[in-house]
C-alpha cells in the first residue's frame, strides 16, 4: 500500500515532451520515409523536377537531391539526418544525392517490421553494418579500371561517366554536347584541385547549344568610365598587369585639415594629388603591360590615360576572376605599382572582348600555364540556366573523381541488383536472425532499379523479375545488366555506356547505412519547448536593457 502512495518523481521541467521506446523509433522511421518520398520521383533519366518556392519569393526548379534537401526546411530532428547525408554526398562526390536518401529511407523501411515485432535495434544495426562491408567489397570487386589508357580513350570514358550523370538532369537532351565540354574543362585544369579554377558564367538568351568553353578565363565586362570605348579590344600576346589598388583621385578618408598662410600654396597641394595618380599611371604604362586589371576601381582619369596609350583596363574585377586570370596567365596580383618587374606580369596568346548575347565578355585564351577553364552557359529562362549550372557542377565533380579514382561500375541499377543477389546468397550461409536482416538489406538495395522503372512509367515488378533472373545466372554474365530506360526491358549497362565511378556507389552505401544505423540507435527524444521560449525572452530583455541605457525598457516589453 505504501508503495502505491509514493509521489511521482518529476525530473524534467513542466511541458517537456519526451517520447521513447518502440513508438518513437517507428515515428522517426516514418518521418525519414516521408522525406524520401519528396525526392523519390527525381531519380534517373526519366525523373521529374521539383519547383520550390521559398519565403523570399524566389523560385528554384531542380532535380538534384542535395539542392532539394537544402531548400526543404526540415524541422524533424531524425529526418534532418537525411538532409545531412545528401549534403555530404554532394560535397564528397557530387552525384548520387537522391540515391543516398532513397537507400537510407529504404533500409529503415525494411527494418520497421522487425522493430514492430520487438527485435532489438542493436541486432539490426550489427547486421546492417556487416552487410554494408560485404556490399562495398563486392563493388570494389566488380569495378573496372580505366587506368593505363591513352588520353583519347580516357576522354571518351570520362565523357561516358559525365553523360550518365547529365542524363537525369534538365539538360539531358544535350548530354553529349555538355559531357565533352565538361571533360575538356576538367582535363584543362589538370591536377589542380580547386574547383574554383573552372568558372561557370551564365548569360540569358540563345539556346543551350550556344554555350561554349573557353580554354582560359572569361568574365563579364566590368563597370567602365568615359574613354573605355577608345581602348583597343584585341591584343596578341599582351603582357597583363594584375592590381589590387585603386587608380583614381581619392578624397581624404579622415577629415584632414590643412592650414595655409599663403594662397599660392593651395595650388601646390592640388598638384601633389594629381602628381601622385599620374605617377602611378606612368609606372603602369612603363611596365610594358597592355592589359591592366584591378580588383578596385579604375577611375575616369585613368581610363582616358590608358586609352591614349592603347592599353586596355578593367576595374572592379571580381576576386575569383582575378585569381583565375593570375593562375592562367602566370601573373601575380600586385598591391603596389612600384618596382613592377617582368616576372609579375602575366601573358596569354589572345585577349579580346567579345559580344555574348547582350553582354560583353573579356576573354583570355591560349594561356601558358592553362590551369583554368571557363564555361559560358546560355539558355532561355534564368531558372533553367541555374539548373544547368547545378547539373554541370555535378558532372564536373564526377569527372574529377573518375580521373582520381579511375574505376567505374555499371549504372542503371545493375550494380545494386548484383550486390542484392550476392547478399541474399551470403545470407543463406548465416545461422540465426541476422540471416533475415541481411536479406532485408538486400531487398532494400532493389529500390534503385525499382524507382528507375516507376519514374519511367514501366512495370517495375516485371522488369525486376527479369533482372533477378538475369543476375541469378551461374556464369555471372548477367552482372552488368540494368534497367533499359528506352525500351522498358533490361540491357547490358556496360555495353550501353551507362557508367558511374565506383566511389559514388561506395560513398552512397556507406552514408546511407550510417544514417539508417543512427536513426535506429535513437530510442528517446526529449524536447523542451519551455527552455526555448525562456531563452528567447532572456535575449530580448538583455537587448532592451542594453539599447536603452539600461534603465528604460522598450514599449511592450515585460518588466
Instruction: Please determine, for residue 414, whether its predicted confidence score (pLDDT) is greater than 70.
Output: yes
Instruction: Please determine, for residue 69, whether its predicted confidence score (pLDDT) is greater than 90.
Output: no
d(CA 280, CA 261): 30
Instruction: Please determine, for residue 490, whether its predicted confidence score (pLDDT) is greater than 80.
Output: yes
The fraction of the chain above a pLDDT of 90, given in percent, is 17
- What pLDDT is attached to residue 494? 82
pLDDT range class, residue 487, cuts 50, 70, 90: confident
Residue among 229, 237, 214 at smallest CA distance from 288: 237
Instruction: Please determine, for residue 550, whether its predicted confidence score (pLDDT) is greater than 50.
Output: no
- Grid cell of 91 as nine digits: 560535397
Cβ burial, residue 267 (10 Å; 0-12/13-18/19+): exposed
Whether 28 and 519 have beta carbons less than 8 Å apart is answered as: yes
Euclidean distance between the first and final Cα of the chain, in Å? 48
Region of poorest pLDDT, from 69-83, 161-175, 431-445: 161-175
Instruction: Please determine, for residue 292, whether its predicted confidence score (pLDDT) is greater than 80.
Output: yes
Which of 216-230, 428-442, 538-552 holds the top average pLDDT?
Answer: 428-442
Residue 39, CB half-sphere, CA atoms under 13 Å: how many? 32
Residue among 381, 352, 403, 367 at smallest CA distance from 182: 403
Whether 128 and 107 have beta carbons less than 8 Å apart is answered as: yes
Q: What is the DSSP track for 112-126?
A: HHHHHTT--HHHHHH
d(CA 85, CA 91): 10
Residue among 4, 12, 160 at smallest CA distance from 528: 12
Mean predicted lDDT score pLDDT of the chain: 82
pLDDT range class, residue 551, cuts 50, 70, 90: very low
Residue among 460, 500, 551 at smallest CA distance from 162: 500
- What pLDDT is attached to residue 534? 54
Residue among 288, 355, 294, 299 at smallest CA distance from 321: 294
Residue 440 CB contacts under 8 Å (≥ 6 apart), including other chains: 110, 111, 114
CA angle 381, 382, 388 (to 5 degrees): 95
d(CA 68, CA 64): 6
Q: What is the DSSP track for 360-400?
A: EEEEEES-SS---EEEEEEESSHHHHHHHHHHHHHHHHHHH
Q: What is the DSSP track for 271-329?
A: HHHHHHHHHHHHHHHHTT-SEEEESS-B-HHHHHHHHHTT-EEE-S--HHHHHHHHHHH
Output the pTM of the full model: 0.76
Distances (CA, A) of 528 to 75, 114, 536, 538: 15, 30, 13, 16
Instruction: Please determine, for residue 381, whether its predicted confidence score (pLDDT) is greater than 60.
Output: yes
Cβ burial, residue 271 (10 Å; 0-12/13-18/19+): exposed
Instruction: Please determine, for residue 301, whether its predicted confidence score (pLDDT) is greater than 90.
Output: no
pLDDT range class, residue 559, cuts 50, 70, 90: very low
- What pLDDT is attached to residue 535? 54
d(CA 361, CA 317): 12
Q: Provide the 8-state DSSP code for 205.
A: B
pLDDT range class, residue 549, cuts 50, 70, 90: very low
Residue 291, beta-bridge partner list: 240, 312
Which of 15-29, 474-488, 510-524 holds the top average pLDDT?
Answer: 510-524
- What pLDDT is attached to residue 210? 84
Distances (CA, A) of 228 to 22, 177, 231, 289, 352: 72, 36, 6, 17, 14
Whether 541 and 534 have beta carbons less than 8 Å apart is answered as: no
Active site residues: 64, 97-98, 394
Which residue did the predictor score with more confidence, 168 or 294?
294
Whether 363 and 353 have beta carbons less than 8 Å apart is answered as: yes
Q: What is the DSSP track for 46-86?
A: TPPPEEEE-TTS-EEEE--HHHHHHHS----HHHHHHHHHH
Q: What is the DSSP track for 460-520?
A: HHHHHHHHHHHHT-TTSTTTTEEE-TTTSSEEETTTTT-EEEHHHHHHHHHHHHHHHHHHH
Domains of the chain by residue range:
17-145+410-521, 151-215+375-405, 218-251+270-369
- Grid cell of 494 as nine digits: 556496360
- Grid cell of 365 as nine digits: 585564351
If you average pLDDT over residues 497-519, what whole number do you get? Answer: 89
Instruction: Please determine, for residue 553, whether its predicted confidence score (pLDDT) is greater than 80.
Output: no
If you average pLDDT over residues 230-258, what whole number do you get? Answer: 79
Output the CA torsion 159→162→163→164 (10° steps). 130
Which residue did the predictor score with more confidence, 151 or 374?
374
Instruction: Report the sign of the C-alpha dihedral through residues 197, 200, 201, 207, in that order.
Output: positive
CA angle 385, 388, 391 (to 5 degrees): 155
Encode burial over 319-356: b for 16+ CB neighbours within 10 A, e otherwise: eebbbbbbbbbbbebbeebeebeeebbbbbeebeeeeb
d(CA 181, CA 85): 29
Residue 112, beta-bridge partner list: none
CATH numeric code, 218-251+270-369: 3.50.7.10
Using DSSP's 3-state secondary structure scheme, residue 439 falls into: helix
- Grid cell of 75 as nine digits: 524541422
If you average pLDDT over residues 371-375, what whole number do you get? Answer: 83
Which of 217-221, 460-464, 493-497 holds the top average pLDDT?
Answer: 460-464
If you average pLDDT over residues 213-217, what whole number do you get? Answer: 84
The CA-based diameter of the chain, rounded to the nearest angstrom, is 109
The tens digit of pLDDT for each residue in 309-356 reads 888 888 888 888 888 888 888 888 888 888 888 888 888 888 888 888
Residue 144 CB contacts under 8 Å (≥ 6 apart), including other chains: 407, 408, 409, 494
Question: Check: CATH 3.30.260.10 for 151-215+375-405?
Answer: yes
The fold of 17-145+410-521 is: GROEL; domain 1 (1.10.560)
Radius of gyration of the chain (CA): 31
Whether 102 and 36 have beta carbons less than 8 Å apart is answered as: yes
Amino acid at each position: 500500500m505504501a508503495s502505491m502512495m509514493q509521489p511521482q518523481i518529476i525530473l524534467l521541467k513542466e511541458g517537456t515532451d519526451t517520447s521513447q521506446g518502440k513508438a518513437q523509433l517507428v515515428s522517426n522511421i516514418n518521418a525519414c520515409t516521408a522525406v524520401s518520398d519528396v525526392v523519390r520521383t527525381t531519380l534517373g533519366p526519366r525523373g521529374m523536377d521539383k519547383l520550390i518556392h521559398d519565403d523570399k519569393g524566389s523560385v528554384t526548379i531542380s532535380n538534384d537531391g542535395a539542392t532539394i534537401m537544402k531548400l526543404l526546411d526540415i524541422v524533424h530532428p531524425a529526418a534532418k539526418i537525411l538532409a545531412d547525408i545528401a549534403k555530404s554526398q554532394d560535397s564528397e562526390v557530387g552525384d548520387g544525392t537522391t540515391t543516398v536518401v532513397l537507400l537510407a529511407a529504404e533500409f529503415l523501411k525494411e527494418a520497421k517490421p522487425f522493430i514492430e515485432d520487438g527485435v532489438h535495434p542493436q541486432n539490426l544495426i550489427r547486421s546492417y553494418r556487416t552487410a554494408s562491408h560485404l556490399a562495398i567489397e563486392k563493388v570494389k570487386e566488380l569495378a573496372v579500371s580505366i587506368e593505363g589508357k591513352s588520353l583519347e580513350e580516357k576522354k571518351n570514358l570520362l565523357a561516358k561517366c559525365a553523360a550518365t550523370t547529365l542524363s537525369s538532369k534538365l539538360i539531358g537532351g544535350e548530354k553529349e554536347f555538355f559531357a565533352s565540354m565538361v571533360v575538356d574543362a576538367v582535363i584543362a585544369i589538370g591536377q589542380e584541385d580547386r574547383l574554383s579554377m573552372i568558372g561557370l558564367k551564365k548569360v540569358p538568351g540563345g539556346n543551350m547549344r550556344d554555350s561554349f568553353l573557353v580554354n582560359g578565363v572569361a568574365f563579364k565586362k566590368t563597370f567602365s568610365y568615359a574613354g573605355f570605348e577608345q581602348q583597343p579590344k584585341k591584343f596578341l600576346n599582351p603582357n597583363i598587369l594584375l592590381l589590387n589598388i585603386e587608380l583614381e583621385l581619392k578624397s581624404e578618408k579622415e577629415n584632414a585639415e590643412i592650414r595655409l598662410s599663403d594662397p599660392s600654396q593651395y595650388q601646390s597641394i592640388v598638384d601633389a594629388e594629381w602628381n601622385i595618380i599620374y605617377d602611378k599611371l606612368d609606372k603602369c604604362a612603363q611596365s610594358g603591360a597592355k592589359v591592366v586589371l584591378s580588383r578596385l576601381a579604375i577611375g575616369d582619369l585613368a581610363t582616358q590615360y590608358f586609352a591614349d596609350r592603347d592599353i586596355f583596363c578593367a576595374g572592379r574585377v571580381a576576386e575569383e576572376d582575378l585569381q583565375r586570370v593570375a593562375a592562367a596567365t602566370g601573373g601575380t596580383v600586385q598591391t603596389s605599382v612600384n618596382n613592377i618587374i617582368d616576372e609579375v606580369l602575366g601573358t596569354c596568346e589572345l585577349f579580346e572582348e567579345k559580344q555574348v548575347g547582350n553582354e560583353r565578355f573579356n576573354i583570355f585564351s591560349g594561356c601558358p600555364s592553362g590551369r583554368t577553364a571557363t564555361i559560358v552557359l546560355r539558355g532561355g529562362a534564368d531558372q533553367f540556366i541555374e539548373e544547368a549550372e547545378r547539373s554541370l557542377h555535378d558532372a564536373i565533380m564526377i569527372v574529377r573523381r573518375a580521373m582520381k579514382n579511375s574505376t567505374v561500375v555499371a549504372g542503371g541499377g545493375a550494380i545494386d541488383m548484383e550486390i542484392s543477389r550476392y547478399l541474399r546468397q551470403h545470407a543463406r550461409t548465416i545461422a540465426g536472425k541476422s540471416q533475415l536482416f541481411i536479406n532485408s538489406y538486400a531487398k532494400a538495395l532493389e529500390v534503385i532499379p525499382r524507382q528507375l522503372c516507376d519514374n519511367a512509367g514501366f512495370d517495375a515488378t516485371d522488369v525486376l523479375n527479369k533482372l533477378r533472373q538475369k543476375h541469378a545466372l551461374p556464369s555471372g554474365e548477367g552482372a552488368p545488366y540494368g534497367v533499359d530506360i528506352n525500351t522498358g526491358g533490361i540491357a547490358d549497362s556496360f555495353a550501353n555506356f551507362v557508367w558511374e565511378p565506383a566511389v559514388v556507389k561506395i560513398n552512397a552505401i556507406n552514408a546511407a547505412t550510417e544514417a539508417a544505423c543512427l536513426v535506429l540507435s535513437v530510442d528517446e527524444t526529449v524536447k523542451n519547448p519551455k527552455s526555448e521560449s525562456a531563452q528567447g525572452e532572456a535575449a530580448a530583455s538583455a537587448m532592451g536593457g542594453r539599447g536603452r541605457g539600461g534603465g528604460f525598457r522598450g514599449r511592450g516589453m515585460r518588466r
